[in-house]
Structure 1
Amino acid sequence: MSDQVEQWIAILSITFPVAAFLWEFAVVGRKRLGYRVQMDTLAADAAGRPYADVLGDMQHDGHQLKDPSFVLLRIENAGSTKIVSDDYLADPADPYGIKVTFRNRRVAAVVLTDPSEEEVPDFFFEEVSEDAGTVRTVAKPGFRRNNNEVDRTGTVRLPKVTLPRGAEYKMLVVLERWRHDDSNGDFPDPVVSGISMQGRWYDKLMKFFRLKATRTESHVFASRPAWWVIWFLVAGVCVQACFTLFLRDDRRPPLDCVGGTLHLHGSTAFGPAVRAAAEDYLNRCEGADVSIPLPDDTFEGSTDGVTGLERAGENAGIRVGEGLSDHIAFTDGPASDGHPRLAPKPVAFSVFTLVVNRDAGVENLSLAQIREIFAGGVKNWTEVGGNDVPVHLINRDPGSGTRSTLVAKVLDGREPPQFTVTDCASLNPGRYGRCRVTSTDTMLNTAASRPGAIGYSEAGGIDDHKAADHLVKLKIDGREPTAEGVEDTNYPYWQTEFAYTYGDAPAGSIAAAFLNFLTQQSGRDILHEHGHGLCSETENSGECRPV
């Protein structure tokens, strides 16, 4: 769903600016007559100032102007192409092109000023020969002023001036208040418009494709419409970034979703990562008739996983040279000898860690100190620089891959001593003791609840465990229990995680599809999230050694 939303945001983020650009420059902006009221000032505002006496004495037709005012109007070609007579919004037979209306004011005088092109005055004036042989300059029919006493408006009509791109001219208009108007308020703004066309069905449509008089402004950076486009783009980028960073699922769906039921077994340490990958696989393959049962006892240990896989293959009557298609067992390290029908595949390397109750007061131990503790030679944490708390040694069952890795990688092949009590709850808080648990979860809960307890676990799952606040992940000779610690500093407590199948999983089977997903597709991201290093990515091939 989020991918579809993100696609629509991307489409709109492109379509809207492109449409705005085409409208602004190809449709409206191609032919645009701009105007700007550069001055609209009452003469009375300046008449009392030094050197401005004449402003109060202006007359017209023998009478003094009433509340005279001045308007300087600039007309400009604000489009991208030349404006010609046919572009004006007016009947072709009408000589007028633009009408300027002044409400509550009458027009006393109009003067053309500052034309940018020498030809502009020719649209306003013409020379007429008189009887006496003199030549007089008069206004052309398209240039007129009118005053309507009924609605108290003054108008100035301007001709259809041909304006090259960027050309302009200015009109200085002198106005006064109507004689019988006794109000003293400010005058309304002038209204500039094209002359409306009448009687043709396409008039309204033509307004969008022919010339319109539009107000132009001076901008430091961009016009208001441009700002709307800019903010729309900014909003689109921000929303798309939020989808990318927080909502979008970048993991690709499996290349193949094979139907059927898949049974998983094995390592309790590697189990959380495999469980998460299986749940993700089910979500991505929804509708493909895929089932992966994941009860709480799915992962009961490496040895039990191998035993269960072997039993399933034998019960299914799989012949030599064939493979079981619906079972996979995961082990911490290679399985023990005596399983000739099982086929291993290195998947990842898991990092394990020793965990200590915070009351012990230690964070870093040497290999020699750890071996002495697990040999039963250290009874109190003060002997290795910790607090005055008895040591409680918590071990896993002999079939645990986490325990066998500890023995092989950390304890130099020496098994820990037997338990002193069978139930960890029976440990005497004030005395040294040893006990044994059956799962990683029980190990962490026990170590967290017993002052002075030490145990071991897969490193990636501790931070999110409910008992994490009461536990410390021990450094070994200063080396961190992380995948980077394994590759960069030779942190010793790690193990290759193997996926075992009964014979080679048949091509096109659900077991083969899930292993491909786990090692080559989106499952790799989940293994990373759980702190595992990928065998396909490790720089040191010895960290994912073959069997």
Structure 2
Amino acid sequence: MGDFSLDTALALIGIAVPVGAFLWEFVFVGRRRLGYRVQMDTPVTGEIESVYPGVLRNLRPDAGDSGPELRDLSVVLVRIENSGNTAIAASDYLAPTARIGLHLHFPRRRVLGMAVTELSDPDLAESLGATSGIAVREDTGGHIGVIDLPKVPLTRKHHYKILAILQQSEAGGTEEERKPVLRGEIRGGRVVATRSQTGISRVMLVLTTFLVLVIIGQFVVAALQPPTPLDCAAGKLTLVGSSAFEPVVRDAAAQYEKRCAGAEFAFDLQGTERGLDRLAEAGPTGELVAFSDGVKGPGYPALQPRPLAVSLFAVFVHKGLGITDLTAAQIKDIYQGKITNWRQVGGPDLPVVLIDRAPGSGTRVIFENALLGGEQPARPHRSCTAIKDTAGTYCDVPVTKDMHKAVDDLPGAIGYGEFSEARKAEMRVVTVGGVAPGRQAAIDRSYPFWGIEYAYANGDLPGGSLAASFLHYLTANVGAEVLRAHGNEPCASALIEPGRCAPTS
């Protein structure tokens, strides 16, 4: 059969046999809307065992006992349809990747195999083929199976179906908590769960039984093939630099350690300048990486930049002020000392208390470049604790968490920092000229307060080092999802225009 593999043959059979079967569905006419229906979610272990006793327990790769036992199985059939009255084009999927538009989640279950079981239009096969990006994976926690679905154009009433065989990966949970969920965003509309208007036909049950056997066959063929290993490396790596980026770094390192035995991370994230100083003083080493909010200054010629992501920042104020929006010009005037009382911008009669990051902070550099035109009056260092019970109107802090505390403690205070951490700290974030902080707003530049996050090494990193492996991990696969979970967009994303992440010095 040449290059025509058994796995490919099984996949083609799984698509060809059910493609002619379809159900008449009630169409809910509304605005642009992509609906999904869970038409079947049923356990299959008992049925298979009754016909072939013991087969699921023993069906595993021949090489040792490394393969998972086929038990606690279930079969899920999900119909994905255009349930509105407007066609959905590929460009209507608001997803961060070029090809993937939707994510089908199965909480507490992993996906053993899947197949496209029905196409309302044969032309849809071009959007759901082997090169479309359709794939199976698990989320960062390892307890949610995910099928990534491509950006399929759907005219009104058109649909396709996904049949998946699942295995329980985490015990417990209610039926509602285990229910499959389709996640994604549609321009000018939304993704909604819709109700099926018909029962499961006998033909569909026959097709399901057939497809269960096909998918089990695919699983066995795939299990017998050698797995593709994660690009892991062992050793110890110390991560220093930006305090604003610390939560992202810690989460990514924790996920890396789960997947790669022998990797150990230490953290000393006390600000960009301190991190870059420590890296420069250490000399060429593969055991130290520094993270910087924005590009390094000219005083570190040996440090090599690696752009990571477009990072989102926010301005926030003391909760008692009642201020919800400031223009970029007002923020600039506040930090340049032209606005000194909140009544000048529609707030209470209260002096403005400026909270700033200490000189050398990468977050401060991004703030000045994004909102102050790169300029800010020179001010002497003042401790925020020292001015708490005085009439002081300015102080600076060394790290992000101190910024949050100072703005919370000092009436009339205004500060700034990384957006996702400000949100977690429940800071009173203001919109800038009516635009709220958001990843898409930063991507399209309608929101001005963003910057590029960089990782720096002293010289070139050895190819097999933990540092090189971890930086590659941060920009690909699971690591990129960690960046997005914290409101960043990886520089490698198709949504970021070329050259945007290039270092400027």
Task: Give the C-alpha shift of residue 22 in structure 1.
Answer: 7.8
Going from structure 1 to structure 2, the CA distance change for 1:343 and 1:22 (only over 3 Å counts) comes to closer
Going from structure 1 to structure 2, the CA distance change for 1:302 and 1:373 (only over 3 Å counts) comes to same
Going from structure 1 to structure 2, the CA distance change for 1:520 and 1:340 (only over 3 Å counts) comes to same
Find the aligned partners of 1:240 and 1:378 in 2 and give their Cα distance.
53
Find the aligned partners of 2:420 and 2:47 in 1 and give their Cα distance.
48
Contact 2:106 2:144 in 1 (8 A): no
Contact 2:43 2:74 in 1 (8 A): yes
Q: Does 1:503 align with 2:459?
A: yes
List per-residue Cα deviations over 1:60-100 (Å, max 9, x = no partner): xxxxxxxxxxxxxxxxxxxxxxxxxxxxxxxxxxxxxxxxx
Task: Give the C-alpha shift of residue 235 in structure 1.
Answer: 10
Contact 2:43 2:75 in 1 (8 A): no
Q: Find the residue that maps to 1:403 and give its secondary structure.
A: helix
Task: Give the C-alpha shift of residue 424 in structure 1.
Answer: 1.5
Find the aligned partners of 1:250 and 1:302 in 2 and give their Cα distance.
37
Residue 490 of structure 2 aligns to which amino acid in structure 1?
L
Going from structure 1 to structure 2, the CA distance change for 1:329 and 1:254 (only over 3 Å counts) comes to farther
Going from structure 1 to structure 2, the CA distance change for 1:247 and 1:501 (only over 3 Å counts) comes to closer
Task: Give the C-alpha shift of residue 479 in structure 1.
Answer: 1.6
1:352 alignment partner in structure 2: 313
Match of 2:246 among 271, 279, 295: 271
Task: Give the C-alpha shift of residue 327 in structure 1.
Answer: 1.4
Match of 1:403 among 342, 364, 373: 364
Residue 393 of structure 2 aligns to which amino acid in structure 1?
G
Q: How does 1:175-190 map to 2 (within 5 A)?
A: none
Q: How does 1:447-462 map to 2 (within 5 A)?
A: 447-462=407-422
Find the aligned partners of 2:106 and 2:396 in 1 and give their Cα distance.
52
Residue 282 of structure 2 aligns to which amino acid in structure 1?
A
2:266 alignment partner in structure 1: 293
Task: Give the C-alpha shift of residue 418 in structure 1.
Answer: 1.1
Identity of aligned residues (%): 35
TM-score by length of 2: 0.56
Going from structure 1 to structure 2, the CA distance change for 1:293 and 1:428 (only over 3 Å counts) comes to closer
Find the aligned partners of 1:434 and 1:233 in 2 and give their Cα distance.
62
Task: Give the C-alpha shift of residue 510 in structure 1.
Answer: 0.9
2:496 alignment partner in structure 1: 539
Match of 2:259 among 269, 284, 301: 284
Task: Give the C-alpha shift of residue 521 in structure 1.
Answer: 2.9
1:485 alignment partner in structure 2: 441
Residue 354 of structure 2 aligns to which amino acid in structure 1?
L
Q: Does 1:16 align with 2:59?
A: no
Going from structure 1 to structure 2, the CA distance change for 1:503 and 1:430 (only over 3 Å counts) comes to closer
Contact 2:294 2:363 in 1 (8 A): no
Find the aligned partners of 2:445 and 2:369 in 1 and give their Cα distance.
19
Contact 2:238 2:289 in 1 (8 A): yes
Q: Find the residue that maps to 1:478 and give its secondary structure.
A: coil
Task: Give the C-alpha shift of residue 503 in structure 1.
Answer: 1.0
Q: Find the residue that maps to 1:424 and give its secondary structure.
A: coil
1:243 alignment partner in structure 2: 109
2:478 alignment partner in structure 1: 522
Task: Give the C-alpha shift of residue 249 in structure 1.
Answer: 5.2
Which protein has the larger Cα radius of gyration, Structure 1 or Structure 2? 1
Q: Find the residue that maps to 1:262 and give its secondary structure.
A: strand
Going from structure 1 to structure 2, the CA distance change for 1:293 and 1:379 (only over 3 Å counts) comes to same
Going from structure 1 to structure 2, the CA distance change for 1:374 and 1:253 (only over 3 Å counts) comes to farther
1:259 alignment partner in structure 2: 234
Q: Does 1:434 align with 2:394?
A: yes
Find the aligned partners of 1:265 and 1:346 in 2 and give their Cα distance.
16
CA-based RMSD of the aligned residues comes to 3.1
Going from structure 1 to structure 2, the CA distance change for 1:430 and 1:273 (only over 3 Å counts) comes to same
Contact 2:238 2:287 in 1 (8 A): yes
Going from structure 1 to structure 2, the CA distance change for 1:254 and 1:526 (only over 3 Å counts) comes to farther
TM-score by length of 1: 0.52
Q: Does 1:309 align with 2:283?
A: no
Task: Give the C-alpha shift of residue 485 in structure 1.
Answer: 1.3
Count, aligned residues: 309
Contact 1:309 1:328 in 2 (8 A): yes
2:7 alignment partner in structure 1: none
Find the aligned partners of 2:292 and 2:106 in 1 and give their Cα distance.
42
Task: Give the C-alpha shift of residue 395 in structure 1.
Answer: 0.7
Find the aligned partners of 2:376 and 2:229 in 1 and give their Cα distance.
43
List per-residue Cα deviations over 1:212-267 (Å, max 9, x = no partner): xxxxxxxxxxxxxxxxxxxx968999x96543599615699971221211111111
1:422 alignment partner in structure 2: 382
Q: Does 1:365 align with 2:326?
A: yes
Going from structure 1 to structure 2, the CA distance change for 1:14 and 1:473 (only over 3 Å counts) comes to same
Find the aligned partners of 2:372 and 2:477 in 1 and give their Cα distance.
36
Q: Find the residue that maps to 1:293 and give its secondary structure.
A: strand
Q: Which moved more, 1:333-342 or 1:242-251?
A: 242-251
Gaps of 5+ in 2: 1-41, 54-72, 79-104, 111-138, 147-226
